[in-house]
Amino acid sequence: MTHRSHLALGGAMFGAALAFTVAADAAPLLDQGKLLLTGGVTNVEGAAGGGIATWATITGYGTNDGIGGNVHATYADVRDYRLTDYGAAVGLYNRVELSYARQDFDTRSVGPKLGLPQGYTFSQDVYGAKLRVIGDLVYDQDSLLPQISVGLQHKEESDKLHVIRSHAFGIRSASGTDYYVAATKLFLDQSLLVNATVRYTKANQGGLLGFGGPKSNDYKPQFEGSVGYLLSKKLVVGAEYRTKPDNVGLKENDWYDLYAAYALNKHVSVTLAYANLGDIATFKNQDGVYLSLQAGF
């Protein structure tokens, strides 16, 4: 698929959503009925979650009887690299989530040192689908049952020179699919949210550096953990941790972040984080600021 057709896909998703709204009159399908922030925010892979972790929540403010969606733009500026990310996601009946995200990873002045042109940008398209299997984040306060979802994220490199596709660095594939199970529990009486996700993946740096490598080309389970403390209806602060495999043998590090997500209302939210991505392709201590804006309907 070309980049243009990806955008068209996103557009079609929203077109369909709008068509649904026009068709309904009494109870609008775009009901905006979910409680504030209870769908999570859009994460770096375009799925509902935190910043670097994917949660079991279904994106948007649609209830069990409605749909919701949003677009996002994310910017992460770490020591030697810069990540920009934009995309769209829809949540259907608080049951199914479909998402698309485009990630552009600018190697800036590091490019030439890796044998790449100055400012060479690795790009990746991430197509996500998520199904809520059991549990309700908000209502299940009388049991320990979390909201549990399963999902997949298909990722495809799409940068100009197809560096990954040419199997540089011994990378095995330019595309891959991650599979995950996510469990998110809101302990409302403690104003606390906890998430644990297991992701089966071959991805290097989340897929930005392809899939598999000289060291390994097998699926390995990785962990994504998040905690969030609700300071108000509009504001949640927390931390996340995400483990990653080391398939290439470049000592790939785990990621972590400290975040604050603020919902101005059900249409606009902002996530600000300190993100630490560890060493990336031999360049040390890639930490910096992560900023994500989300607009929804």
Number of residues interacting with another protein: please give it, by CB under 8 A.
33
Could you say whether residue 264 binds another protein (CB under 8 A)? Answer: no
* Per-residue DSSP letter, 252: P
Could you say whether residue 191 binds another protein (CB under 8 A)? Answer: yes
Among 5, 16, 64, 282, binds another protein (CB under 8 A): 64
Q: Which two tokens stand for residue 187?
A: 């302990």
Give me the amino acid identity at 200: Y
Could you say whether residue 236 binds another protein (CB under 8 A)? Answer: no
Q: Which two tokens stand for residue 246?
A: 């080391």
CB of 189 to another protein, least distance (A): 4
> What beta strand segments (E) does the chain contain?
41-42, 48-49, 67-78, 82-92, 96-106, 121-134, 147-157, 175-187, 192-201, 220-230, 235-242, 255-263, 268-276, 287-296
Bridge partners (DSSP) of residue 223 are 198
d(CA 92, CA 139): 18
Could you say whether residue 265 binds another protein (CB under 8 A)? Answer: no
Q: How many CB atoms are closer than 10 A to CB 13? A: 17
Binders of another protein among residues 193 to 212 (CB under 8 A) are none
Binders of another protein among residues 67 to 106 (CB under 8 A) are 92-96
Q: Which is nearer to another protein, 231 or 289 (CB)?
A: 231
- State the number of CA atoms in the 13 A half-sphere of 244 facing the CB: 29
d(CA 6, CA 239): 32
Among 2, 4, 22, 143, binds another protein (CB under 8 A): 143
CB of 266 to another protein, least distance (A): 10
Which of 297, 296, 295, 287 has its CA nearest to residue 52?
287
Could you say whether residue 185 binds another protein (CB under 8 A)? Answer: no
Q: Which is nearer to another protein, 73 or 129 (CB)?
A: 129
Could you say whether residue 135 binds another protein (CB under 8 A)? Answer: yes
d(CA 125, CA 16): 21
Give me the amino acid identity at 268: V
Q: What is the distance in angstroms between the CA of the first residue and the CA of the last residue of the chain?
A: 27
Q: Which is nearer to another protein, 95 or 108 (CB)?
A: 95
CB of 8 to another protein, least distance (A): 25
Could you say whether residue 231 binds another protein (CB under 8 A)? Answer: yes
Candidates 32-40, 41-49, 98-106, 171-179; binding stretch for another protein (CB under 8 A): 32-40
CB of 183 to another protein, least distance (A): 14
Instruction: Give the footprint of another protein on this chain (CB under 8 A).
Output: 27, 31, 33-35, 63-66, 92-96, 134-136, 138-143, 145, 187-191, 230-233
